[in-house]
Structure 1
Amino acid sequence: MRTYKRKTTRGTKSLEVYELAAKEVMEKGRNYRDVAKEFQLCHVSVFNFVKKKKAGAPAVMGYKKTRLVFNAEQEANIAEYLLKCANIYFGLLPADVKRLAYQCAKFYNVERVPDSWKVNEMAGNDWFTNFMKRNPRLAIRSPEATSLSRATSFNRTNLKNFFEKYRNVLERYSFQPSRIWNVDETGITTVQKPKKIVAGKGIKQVGAVTSAERGVLVTLEIATNAIGNAIPCMFVFPRIRYNDIFVRNGPPECIGVGNQSGWMTQKEFIRFIYHFIHHVKPSKEDPVLLLLENHSSHINVEVVNKAKDNNIVLLSFPPHCSHNLQPLDVGVYGPLKNYISKAQTSWMSSNPGKTMSIYDLPAIVKEALPLALNPMNIINAFKKSGIWPCNEDVFQESDFAPSFVTDRPDPSNQNQSLVENEVNDDDLTLNSYDKMCSIHFYIDFTFINKK
């Protein structure tokens, strides 16, 4: 009955039509069936309507709406609460929503609470299904795992500090967009994530062949600038003895290095800096701004000295903020992973029975990289991250919502206010101390106004 569809139009006629039919019966004395047939109504409905009119009772026709536990405003408050929890990365499971509904029913002192709610201390499946239908803004989604550091570090304070330094650098050196570069690395493996395929309907499980159960990681280093250009990429292979033959089928002019893990280290990043200088050619009259993460392999004495000697200005992003501030993360690596996965699937279809190795990845990247490094993708990524044009206002309130769990007063501002007001330690009450030091993390029902 959850998906019941009406098979007749009974009860859908407007009240004006019944008024006209009743007037024909009461004033002209016509037969009920004849009038009902003329107005395309049920003769029983016409009879009941006329009976109510003669008795002076309020004449209301049509089917009444299904009785709901909460009224429209209460349900809207619950829906807003669920959206707020999801925006701060603490979304509720369906079972939690049902328990929340029961708690809200007690909070609102709802009289018509089903008995099953009281027994189970949670709402039923029928209520949850219809609640989701009545609130199309809500949907059951699979969340992406996000570390607490990343969720809480992107806040207005860190953003303001970064853009102050960024604007100072732009004003000092008068960088043009062609001289603003972003460099970062990403990992690719020999095992692709299967894409959706066309298969038989109703089959319980559909499989897709991958190269192995666990893949081998190869790091890919890319640098792009604000006008949509990019220099040849660099591969970091998990091989101690690297040979140039590894990248013979890779993108034009790409280079490669090797180490034991395949991850980027200080030694490999220095090699990329030489590669970057060779292609970008910074000079004293035309320096370059290089935006990068503050990873230990990027920020060290050797890298800083090499950049300084070659007129490269380094500016790092705040920790755990690159997912919103770094153009490569914002608009390039997502499409790149998608194109690489498609290319790997095509490779598996073209080489049945063969296992993909790390030496096949350069050729796959050669096919996928030009599609991802589309100039419009890069330019829009710089724009969306606020790097170029320089604009920190591109971020909305929803972007800062995850940092809500560590929303606390700025200690520097508090210390300044204490000095200005000449407040001594002895004058600090427990209440004022709690206000200064407590972490305002709360997810409760205080915003739901009690009727």
Structure 2
Amino acid sequence: MGPSTILSKEEENILEIWIKEMLDKHIPVTKDQLLDSVQRIIIDKNQETLFSDNRPGNKWYTSFLKRHPTITKRVAQNLCTTRDNVTQEDIEKWFSEVESDLKDRGLIEIVKHPERVFNTDESAFFLNPKPEHVLARKGDKNSSSGDDKENLTVLITGNAAGELAPILVVFNYARIPSLISENFPDDWAIGRSESGRMCSGTFYEYMTNVFNPWLIKKNIEKPITFFLDGHKSHLTLHLSNFCSDNGIEVIALNLNSTHILQPMDLAVFRPLKSFWRESVKNWKTQHLGQVLKKQHFNNSCRENFC
């Protein structure tokens, strides 16, 4: 009874299978990732809908879950709590599961070649980082110039051989101002999103238009392993299919121990953030009274990133 569904039964079944496959890989699909996937299907079909920007809303989402009772909503566990409870046995179990999976699929040889083992992660870089303690007159309030919430999202991808793929910087512009694009490093990539944060569309464009062409240009043998944080993977059905078709084996780090296992976070972002704060401080010293803006980001941080 009622009107026909926007997607065919076969298309919805493909989505259900994909959701379950992602769960098996410890990469849970979020509501937004599902809706982004449906939006892409509709656009690819050039199908007319009543959805805003061809993206379904809560009503469609609720109906989809009713039509697929084997899938249910779950509230994500508090990471602070689960991280506190992670044990050595949990981490060893994850390593064992990954090794067994790679062996079963005949991919274990990949890990013997560091240039084929990749990791990616993203982090926010604030244009006005919280300053260190400073000296002031007793009773005076300390203040600094600039919006302390203004930031840019940076995605860094590299392999175990120490080679970095093009760095992606995400801006919250519909169109990138020429002041930024004209001075942007040639070997970096520009991403766009409404919020300025990484989203599934931006990540898809990076993987398809930047990262995979880079692999081909560098003549890196495929398949490769691609380790990422399952909680912020930004994977959609289309990106999952693209990775599968192009020899990119996505593997989620243990959900509760990325603070221990995430190489980019521990070996790259942590020291980089320290250099970034020092770089901002030096920039402000050289440009007294001025506020660091997005167009300054390239020149002020390139030395640290490279």
**CA–CA separation in structure 1 for the residues paired with 2:178 and 2:98:** 38
In the other structure, the counterpart of 1:5 is: none
In the other structure, the counterpart of 2:212 is: 277
**CA–CA separation in structure 2 for the residues paired with 1:272 and 1:244:** 20
Question: Is the aligned partner of 1:229 residue 2:185?
Answer: no
**CA–CA separation in structure 2 for the residues paired with 1:276 and 1:289:** 13
**CA–CA separation in structure 1 for the residues paired with 2:220 and 2:246:** 8
In the other structure, the counterpart of 2:118 is: 181
Structure 1: state its 5+ residue gaps: 1-145, 371-451
Q: State which structure, 1 or 2, has the greater radius of gyration over its C-alpha atoms.
A: 1
AA of the residue aligned to 1:343: S
In the other structure, the counterpart of 1:166 is: 98
- Equivalent runs, 1:347-362 vs 2, <5 Å: 347-362=283-298
CA drift of 1:210 comes to 3.6
- Equivalent runs, 1:56-95 vs 2, <5 Å: none
CA drift of 1:246 comes to 2.2
**CA–CA separation in structure 2 for the residues paired with 1:220 and 1:160:** 30
- Counterpart selection for 1:310 from 246, 259, 276: 246
Q: Secondary structure at the match of 2:230?
A: coil
Retained in 1: the 8 A contact 2:129–2:148? no
Query: Alpha carbons of 1:353 and 1:159: their partners in 2 closer, same or farther (altered >3 Å)?
Result: same
**CA–CA separation in structure 2 for the residues paired with 1:190 and 1:234:** 17
Query: How many aligned positions are there?
Result: 221
Runs of 4+ in structure 1 deviating by more than 4 angstroms, as ranges, are: 203-209, 282-285
* TM-score normalised per structure 2: 0.64
**CA–CA separation in structure 1 for the residues paired with 2:212 and 2:178:** 20
CA drift of 1:249 comes to 3.4
Percent identity at matched positions? 23
- Equivalent runs, 1:314-329 vs 2, <5 Å: 314-329=250-265
- Equivalent runs, 1:31-430 vs 2, <5 Å: 147-152=80-85, 154-168=86-100, 170-171=102-103, 172-173=106-107, 174-175=109-110, 176-195=113-132, 210-243=144-177, 245-274=179-208, 275-281=210-216, 286-295=222-231, 297-370=233-306
Retained in 2: the 8 A contact 1:195–1:342? no
Retained in 2: the 8 A contact 1:236–1:263? yes
CA drift of 1:322 comes to 1.1
Query: Alpha carbons of 1:304 and 1:353: their partners in 2 closer, same or farther (altered >3 Å)?
Result: same
Retained in 1: the 8 A contact 2:117–2:159? yes
Retained in 2: the 8 A contact 1:251–1:365? no
AA of the residue aligned to 1:237: F
- Cα-to-partner distance string for 1:224-277 (whole Å, 9 max, x where unaligned): 111111112001112233346524434441111222211111001011112111
Greater strand share, 1 or 2?
2
- Cα-to-partner distance string for 1:83-123 (whole Å, 9 max, x where unaligned): xxxxxxxxxxxxxxxxxxxxxxxxxxxxxxxxxxxxxxxxx
**Cα RMSD (Å):** 2.8
Query: Alpha carbons of 1:361 and 1:156: their partners in 2 closer, same or farther (altered >3 Å)?
Result: same
AA of the residue aligned to 2:234: H
**CA–CA separation in structure 1 for the residues paired with 2:184 and 2:299:** 5
In the other structure, the counterpart of 1:133 is: none
**CA–CA separation in structure 2 for the residues paired with 1:320 and 1:311:** 27
Query: Alpha carbons of 1:332 and 1:296: their partners in 2 closer, same or farther (altered >3 Å)?
Result: closer
In the other structure, the counterpart of 2:55 is: none
**CA–CA separation in structure 1 for the residues paired with 2:275 and 2:193:** 26
Retained in 1: the 8 A contact 2:115–2:220? no
CA drift of 1:155 comes to 2.4
* TM-score normalised per structure 1: 0.45
Query: Alpha carbons of 1:167 and 1:213: their partners in 2 closer, same or farther (altered >3 Å)?
Result: same
**CA–CA separation in structure 1 for the residues paired with 2:186 and 2:144:** 28
Query: Alpha carbons of 1:349 and 1:284: their partners in 2 closer, same or farther (altered >3 Å)?
Result: closer
**CA–CA separation in structure 1 for the residues paired with 2:141 and 2:183:** 30
Retained in 2: the 8 A contact 1:223–1:231? yes
**CA–CA separation in structure 2 for the residues paired with 1:180 and 1:311:** 12
AA of the residue aligned to 1:159: I
AA of the residue aligned to 1:150: R
- Cα-to-partner distance string for 1:16-56 (whole Å, 9 max, x where unaligned): xxxxxxxxxxxxxxxxxxxxxxxxxxxxxxxxxxxxxxxxx
Q: Secondary structure at the match of 1:295?
A: helix
Higher relative contact order, structure no. (Cα contacts within 8 Å, ≥ 6 residues apart): 2
- Cα-to-partner distance string for 1:335-384 (whole Å, 9 max, x where unaligned): 110111111111111111111112222222212112xxxxxxxxxxxxxx
Query: Alpha carbons of 1:366 and 1:208: their partners in 2 closer, same or farther (altered >3 Å)?
Result: farther
Q: Secondary structure at the match of 1:147?
A: helix
Q: Secondary structure at the match of 2:231?
A: coil
CA drift of 1:181 comes to 0.5
Query: Alpha carbons of 1:320 and 1:261: their partners in 2 closer, same or farther (altered >3 Å)?
Result: farther
AA of the residue aligned to 2:215: V
Retained in 2: the 8 A contact 1:236–1:258? yes
